[in-house]
Amino acid sequence: MNELHMPTFPLDGVRLIEASAGTGKTYTIANLYLRLVLEEELEVPQILVVTFTKAATEELRDRIRRRLREARDRLVRGALEDDGDLGTLLRQAAGMPEEIGNRLELALADMDEAAVFTIHGFAQRMLTDHAFESGAPFEAELLGDEHALRRAAVEDFWRRRFYDAPDADVAWAAGEWGTPETLYTQIAGLLGRDAARLLPADAVGEAARLAERWQTLYAAARAAWGASGEAVAETLRASPALNRNSYKPKTVETALDAFAAWIEDAAPVPGRLPERIDLFTPDKLAAATRKGQETPTGTLFERCGELAELAPRLTRARRAALLAEAVDYARGAVDEHKRARSLLSYDDLLTRLDAVLASESGAALAARIRARYPVAMIDEFQDTDPVQYRIFSAVYAAADEPPPASSASAPSGGAAQLGLFDGIAEPDRREGRSGKAESGEEAELAAANEHSEAVSNAAWASRSRSVALFMIGDPKQAIYGFRGADIFAYLAARGSAAEATYTLGTNWRSSSALVDAVNRVFARREKPFLFEGIEFHPAAPSPLADAGPLVVEGVQPPPLACWWLPNGGDKPLGSGAAKAQAAAACAHEIARLLGLAATGQAAIGDAPLAAGDLAVLVRNRYEADEIRGALAAVGVASVFLARESIFATPEAVDLRHLLRAAAEPGDTRALRAALATDLLGADAAALDALNRDEAAWEIWLDRFHGAQQRWREHGFMPMFAQLMTDCAIAHRLLAEPDGERRMTNLLQLAELLAEESGRRRGFEALLRWLDERIADPDGDDEQQQLRLESDESLVQVVTVHASKGLEYPLVFLPFPWAAKPFKTDEKPILFHAESDLAACADLGSEAREDHAKLAERERLAEDLRLLYVALTRAQRRVYLSWGRVAGAEASALGWLLHGASGIAGRNDAALRDELLALDGGAGRLALLDLPSGAIRAPAPPLPAVQQARHFAGRIDAGWRVTSYSGLAAGHGERAELPDYDAVAAGDTAAPARPQRDAFAFPRGAQAGLFLHALLEKLDFPEARGETLAQAVRAGLALHGFEAEWQPAVEALIGRVLDTPLDESGLCLREVTRADRRDELAFYYPLAPLGPGALNDLLARDGALALDGERLAFNPLRGMMKGFIDLVFRRDGRYYLVDYKSNHLGDRAEDYAPPRLAEAMREHRYDLQYLIYCVALHRHLRARLPGYDYARDFGGVFYLFLRGMRPADGPRLGVYRDRPEPALIDALDALFAGGERAA
């Protein structure tokens, strides 16, 4: 291992540079670039720089440009004797200062032509610029991703494989996977990894052989059962040789019944055994044989033993075979689909270039690429994979050979591999995924096609310069295995370039104390990153490491701070409790620091500590939510940054519903789904209210019809902007605690959809594209990655993956003990073979358990690398938490602190001692107790107050839409909502009663909503038995009630339907669908109305004595609206019904007339039903020829559902009234303006 010294680093050959965190990787690349321009006299288009993301290409291009400019400016000033790398590099440059200056000026002028690409951009440029050599299609369309194609291919495989398959195969597939979506989920990671070696190698053949063996044994067992079944049964039932504790009569009969059904099955599922077949096996019989007795034997027992042994092997083999078939079919189907349509994915760019370089014409193409780019620098090389590595290994194989004058004179044969790829197995196929494309890449690739070849072969031949390949990265920061990066490809490269490996050893990011602390953490183990080839070399602090120290309350705190999480007992602390404690401690400390900073007691150098200086690193969104909730609780605002896809957010799903309604406004279900989203905010009650409010429903219909027309005529964005305004979406979202985050997500989605709408015609095409992205979100796509929701200096909550490459003065790592050990379930096991480092996928081999251990080792190794990334983001201090937490032994920090023996058997004192051993008395670690006491972060300064404009217009406040609720509440503006259950605030839970009956059923709006919906759904005459049971069961589940309420609700509904409503015996059970209207909505005009006239009329003619209570509301005019629960017809008369689920008591007598009258007065239900009566009166008068109120109106029933009993008739739970015709006429006239309205 060589320490890299920039002025003397060789500029030829193949060299590996390992740049630990904070050691200046990008700075090194910029300096190497400068040296290539100054010393090798290379022009900018000749130097290839490859990285893995679009954002990284822009950063590298900018840093290189700045370094060239700095060199040019230094040269102009004549400051060549200054200390530092730049002065040294300028002094050793070849030529006179004027010549050097010209080279720098030319390089700066050419920077727009700099060959700084993503790996996919480079591959496409090579394929298109050398189309004849590569055989690349000229008119191929670039495909953003293949997820939708892969899913469709798996669905097609499922159809072909099972739709016409034997019943036994269908039953087996249904039991194993259920749906093609489950199958797709299990193999999705293999459809882009053709390099993965599938195990077992001959899964299909092995399954066929085992299935044939199974059929032979099964047939033999069936024959033996037919010949000796009765004797076998008698042996199991009564043999004195068998211990009856193992062969209990009930157990034996169960086993015999199951065995008989299984052995006589016309279509048995291969590998599936009957219950308790072990009772038929020789091993079980031998184990249960009494001492001194002879074990029962027989052909059937022998066959059953063989079947029992074979079954798990066959089941595993059948699964593996099916998975292998599905993978092979899906890969082929996707390839054929792309070939037929001239499509190329980003991965295809790499695999095609790889294939061409390995072909007979590969040497010629490699030579031409070397001629064009004699020097290549591969950034972030730890994130490479086998295909990418093979490409550069092939191109830069012949380090000193100039290219031929033309491709015709090129030597034949494949390119040598420099020995670089000796450690990586070749794949069986070339079409696999080789890495994830980055967002925004299509623009880069298009620009790449316009870039002409800058170096001619003649120029090359005249200079005969050597070739160089610099691979720059840090294996300790290889954390992107989930997106195709392969650390083992890096290890192979490192092994081949062992003598030409260099390190950057100075940490320019962190304080000297923190550098030492991190060194101590990873130096505890001989191989802290588990694998050979990933070494840890302690970093050295820079000379400027301690400039601008962190000072809190006058002292410089230790660089590591760790909260101890007490478990409070013998058992480990649960992870949920640990997360809550750690999150609260983290938030408390952040609030404390910000409070101190506000008073000048917390600073970094001369600058007060700011919220933007603090970062909390988490593994996923769930941990982020925990932290952000804790921060909000102490008044600290935060932002969230993650490499997560915008299409994986709730806003994406909500927007899909919104756009579906805009595309199909006539689809009632789609519109209701849109209304139920958080974007439009309609809850169940509001949706239910719309059922009864035709005018309100028409408003929404008109709004979405308008959106559809605007979308069609003006495009997506004008439609979206109008919906945002019309529906007050921004106002609604920003009122939420995480409103900025949600609003940012929504606007980002809109931008992506607007951009995509230019490439797709029609609503359906765009919606299908959105559906595909939601089904397969890609967090690696830069365009899809979540944006920061605020530019303010706020505390940053960042995933560890997103933090890579970033730095923060203070870092909080609250959950370092959280881990997810590898689970050996039925999914393929991805691992690397120890023999040749080849990527493998175990679909169900005999060595599955051993392979699972390898996968777990790789999981721990990647977690160790993630921990390294997290700890090295900080400049001044890192906060952790630790303790005896459940599962901590599987974590990276647990392994580093406590080794392979883990935490088991250690008490808190031992664990604390091992933690403190990190410090060794050096003052690097502060072990903290959890904070106590309430705290609140200081409020941020208020923004300047803006003066609202003065409104000089006039608003007619008198005209409005009102309802019973508005008049009774005293203001007349309240919207009409179903008053399902009048209860005190918060009184929604069921009382503590031992029985489950109508009185104990939960109270509140949700209970009322459920009972109303149930009664609306039921066909009263048919609502019995299973019909009623199914409706109740579905309703309970839909509205979130426990299934245990089923009997009570069924009984309640039965009583409601069968209770006579009057002395004639009239009951709801007799009302058919044809004679009823549920949730009847109404609007009718309302003339100017004041409380005086209405109060006088009710006091004079109303049915209830109001004890002096009078209505008080502002005079109004406009429209009266409402919803009548039920109107039914019987014997030519029309009746009005309102269901009340109010809880009036726990005894039947609590629902007697006096108590009902009291409830009616309390809630002014008399006003409600009089308003309803006027509505029905006007409706019948308009629709019923010869209508006469006295003859045609039957009356009002207010049904207090909990108290109704058929035996008690209308005496309990039924409030009845039939307002006098004069009262209804007077109200009708009053509402129409026929009487004094004041």
Residue 801 labelled as part of a binding site: no
Do 242 and 288 contact (CB within 8 A), yes or no?
yes
| Residue 24 annotated as part of some ligand binding site | yes
> Which ranges in 165-202 belong to alpha helices (H)?
167-176, 180-191
524-563 exposure pattern, b = at least 16 Cβ within 10 A, e = fewer: ebeebbbbebbbbbebebbeebeebebbbeeeebbbbbbb
Burial tier of 159 (Cβ tally within 10 Å: 0-12, 13-18, 19+): exposed
The candidate with the shortest Cα–Cα distance to 1113, out of 1143, 1092, 1085, is 1092
Residue with tokens 């849109």: 674
Q: Other C-beta atoms within 10 Å of 990: how many? A: 17
CA angle 645, 719, 662 (to 5 degrees): 80
- φ, ψ for residue 141 (rounded to 5)? -95, 135
Going from the C-alpha of 720 to that of each of 679, 753, 767, 773, the distances in angstroms are 12, 10, 14, 19
In sequence order, the β-bridge partners of residue 198 are 841
Per DSSP, helices labelled H in 530-614 are 575-598
Asked if 226 and 264 touch (Cβ cutoff 8 Å), the reply is no
> How many residues appear in the chain?
1238
- What is the tally of helices (H) and strands (E) in the chain? 43, 30
* Ramachandran area for residue 1209 (φ above 0: left; ψ -120 to 50: alpha; else beta): left
Specify the pairing of strand 839-842 against strand 829-832. Answer: antiparallel
* 54 annotated as a binding-site residue: no
289 is in an annotated binding site: no
Catalytic residue among 1138, 1166, 1208, 1228: 1138
Q: Which residue carries 């920039």 as its tokens?
A: 6
Cα 824 to Cα 851: distance, rounded to the nearest angstrom: 10
Amino acid at 446: A
CA dist 231 → 287, 296, 578, 784 (Å): 20, 11, 61, 69
d(CA 216, CA 1131): 74
| Residue 409 dihedral angles phi and psi, to the nearest 5° | -95, 5
Which pair of structure tokens corresponds to residue 645? 């896809």
| DSSP H or E stretch at residue 1026 | helix 1025-1038
Distance between CA 338 and CA 431 in Å, rounded?
Answer: 12
Identify the helix (H) or strand (E) that includes residue 371. Answer: helix 362-372
Whose CA is closest to 332, among 125, 149, 93, 476?
A: 149
| 118 carries a ligand binding annotation | no
Q: Using only the alpha carbons of the chain, give its radius of gyration.
A: 39
- Is 19 marked within a binding site? yes
Q: Which amino acid is at 652?
A: A
Structure tokens, 1211? 């005496």
Q: What is the 3-state secondary structure (H, E, C) of 1029-1047?
A: HHHHHHHHHHCCCCHHHHH
- Cα(496)–Cα(492) distance, rounded to whole angstroms? 6
* Cα–Cα distance measured from residue 368 to residue 407, given in angstroms and rounded to the nearest whole number: 8
d(CA 852, CA 107): 53
Determine if residue 25 is labeled as part of a ligand binding site. yes
Is 22 one of the annotated binding-site residues?
yes
Please check if 87 is assigned to a binding site. Answer: no
Please state, in angstroms and as integers, the Cα–Cα distance from residue 1113 to each residue in 130, 186, 1102, 1161, 1171, following that order: 83, 64, 19, 18, 16
863 is in an annotated binding site: no
473 is in an annotated binding site: no
Known active-site residue 1138: yes
Q: Is the Cα torsion angle 883, 887, 889, 893 positive or negative in sign?
A: negative
Catalytic residues: 1138
Annotated binding-site positions for ATP: 19-26
Annotated binding-site positions: 19-26, 1012, 1125, 1138
Annotated binding-site positions for Mg(2+): 1012, 1125, 1138
